[in-house]
Structure 1
Amino acid sequence: MQRGFGWWSILRLGAVQAAIGAITMLATSLLNRLMVLEYGLAAGIPAGLVAWHYGVQLSRPLWGHGSDIGRRRTPWILAGMVTLGLGALLAVRGVTLLDEMHVQGIALSVLAFTLIGAGVGAAGTSVLALLATGVAPERRAAAAAVTWIMMVFGIVVAAGTAGALLDPYSEQRLAAVASGVVGVAVLVTLLATFRLEGRAAPGRFRAGSSPPPSLREALTEIFADDEARRFTLFIFVSMLAYSMQDLILEPFTGLVFAMTPGQSTSLSSLQNSGVLIGMIVTGIGGSAFRGRLPIELRTWTMLGCLGSAAALAGLVLAARVGPGWPLAANIALLGLFNGAFAVSAIGSMMGLAGVGRRNGEGVRMGVWGTAQAIAFGLGGLLGALGVDFTRAALGRPGTAFALIFAIEAGLFLFSAMLAMRTRATPTPSIALRSAGI
Structure 2
Amino acid sequence: MSIALTPTFIRTSGFGWLDIVRLGLVQTAIGGIVVMTTSTLNRIMVVELALPAILPGLLVAFHYFIQVIRPRMGHASDSGAKKTPWIIGGICVLALGGFGAALSTALMASYLILGIACAALAFFLIGIGVSISGTSLLALLAKGVNDERRAAAATIVWLMMIFGFAFTSIMAGKFLDPYEPYKVVVISGIISTIAVLVTIAALYRLETPELQNSPVHVERKTPFRQALAEVWADGDARRFSIFIFISMFAFSSQDLILEPFAGIVFGYTLGQTTSLSGVQHSGVLMGMLLVAICGSSRLRAYCGSLRLWMIYGCVASGIAMLGLAIGSMVGPEWPLRFNVFLLGLANGAFSIAAIASMMRLAVAGGAGKEGVRIGLWGGAQAIAFGVGGLLGAAASDVARALMESQSLAYASVFSIESGLFIASAYLASKVEK
Does residue 1:154 correspond to 2:164, yes or no? yes
Distance 1:208 1:417 in 2: 40
Does residue 1:243 correspond to 2:252, yes or no? yes
C-alpha displacement at 1:293, in angstroms?
A: 11
Distance 1:114 1:289 in 2: 44
Deviations 1:359-387 (A, max 9, x none): 21101111101100000001111111101
The match for 2:119 is 109
Does residue 1:171 correspond to 2:185, yes or no? no
Amino acid of the structure 2 residue aligned with 1:60: R
The match for 1:417 is 426
Alpha-carbon contact 1:18-1:153 (below 8 Å) kept:
yes
Alpha-carbon contact 2:91-2:196 (below 8 Å) kept:
yes
Distance 1:290 1:330 in 2: 28
**Structural mapping, 1:360-375, within 5 Å:** 360-375=369-384
SS of residue matched to 1:247: helix
Distance 2:215 2:287 in 1: 37
C-alpha displacement at 1:319, in angstroms?
A: 0.4
The match for 1:308 is 317
Distance 2:214 2:312 in 1: 33
The match for 1:32 is 42
Does residue 1:126 correspond to 2:136, yes or no? yes
Distance 2:108 2:93 in 1: 23
Distance 2:217 2:102 in 1: 46
SS of residue matched to 1:324: coil
Distance 1:302 1:320 in 2: 28
C-alpha displacement at 1:295, in angstroms?
A: 6.0
Distance 2:339 2:112 in 1: 44
SS of residue matched to 1:195: coil
Amino acid of the structure 1 residue aligned with 2:128: A
C-alpha displacement at 1:291, in angstroms?
A: 8.2
C-alpha displacement at 1:328, in angstroms?
A: 0.7
**Structural mapping, 1:46-61, within 5 Å:** 46-61=56-71
The match for 1:434 is none
Amino acid of the structure 1 residue aligned with 2:329: R
The match for 2:287 is 278
Does residue 1:13 correspond to 2:23, yes or no? yes
TM-score where L is the length of structure 2: 0.94
Distance 1:136 1:343 in 2: 16
Distance 1:109 1:289 in 2: 49
Distance 1:299 1:57 in 2: 29
Q: Would the alpha carbon gap of residues 14 and 137 (structure 1) be closer, same or farther in structure 2, given more than 3 Å must change?
A: same
Alpha-carbon contact 2:94-2:129 (below 8 Å) kept:
yes
The match for 1:335 is 344
Runs of 4+ with deviation above 3 angstroms: 202-212, 288-295
Q: Would the alpha carbon gap of residues 384 and 15 (structure 1) be closer, same or farther in structure 2, given more than 3 Å must change?
A: same
Q: 1:287 aligns with which of 291, 296, 302?
A: 296
The match for 2:401 is 392
The match for 2:5 is none
Deviations 1:194-237 (A, max 9, x none): 111126xx344489979452211111101111111101000001
Alpha-carbon contact 1:289-1:296 (below 8 Å) kept:
no
Distance 1:70 1:338 in 2: 36
SS of residue matched to 2:364: coil
C-alpha displacement at 1:288, in angstroms?
A: 3.6
Q: 1:218 aligns with which of 222, 227, 237?
A: 227
Distance 2:306 2:368 in 1: 23
Does residue 1:319 correspond to 2:328, yes or no? yes
Amino acid of the structure 2 residue aligned with 1:32: N
Amino acid of the structure 2 residue aligned with 1:256: V
SS of residue matched to 1:197: coil
Q: Would the alpha carbon gap of residues 291 and 33 (structure 1) be closer, same or farther in structure 2, given more than 3 Å must change?
A: closer
Distance 1:264 1:120 in 2: 30
C-alpha displacement at 1:304, in angstroms?
A: 1.1
Amino acid of the structure 1 residue aligned with 2:202: A
Distance 2:404 2:397 in 1: 10
Alpha-carbon contact 1:133-1:204 (below 8 Å) kept:
no
The match for 2:108 is 98
Distance 1:209 1:302 in 2: 36
Q: 2:197 aligns with which of 162, 165, 187?
A: 187
C-alpha displacement at 1:136, in angstroms?
A: 0.3
Amino acid of the structure 2 residue aligned with 1:100: S
How many matched pairs?
A: 422
Alpha-carbon contact 1:212-1:358 (below 8 Å) kept:
no
Distance 1:259 1:206 in 2: 59
Alpha-carbon contact 2:82-2:213 (below 8 Å) kept:
no
Alpha-carbon contact 1:250-1:264 (below 8 Å) kept:
yes
Distance 1:236 1:107 in 2: 30
Amino acid of the structure 2 residue aligned with 1:255: I
Distance 1:214 1:386 in 2: 40
Amino acid of the structure 2 residue aligned with 1:188: V
Percent identical residues: 49
Deviations 1:50-93 (A, max 9, x none): 11101111111111111101121111110111111110111111
Alpha-carbon contact 2:283-2:343 (below 8 Å) kept:
yes
TM-score where L is the length of structure 1: 0.93
Q: 1:231 aligns with which of 221, 240, 253?
A: 240
Distance 2:319 2:29 in 1: 34
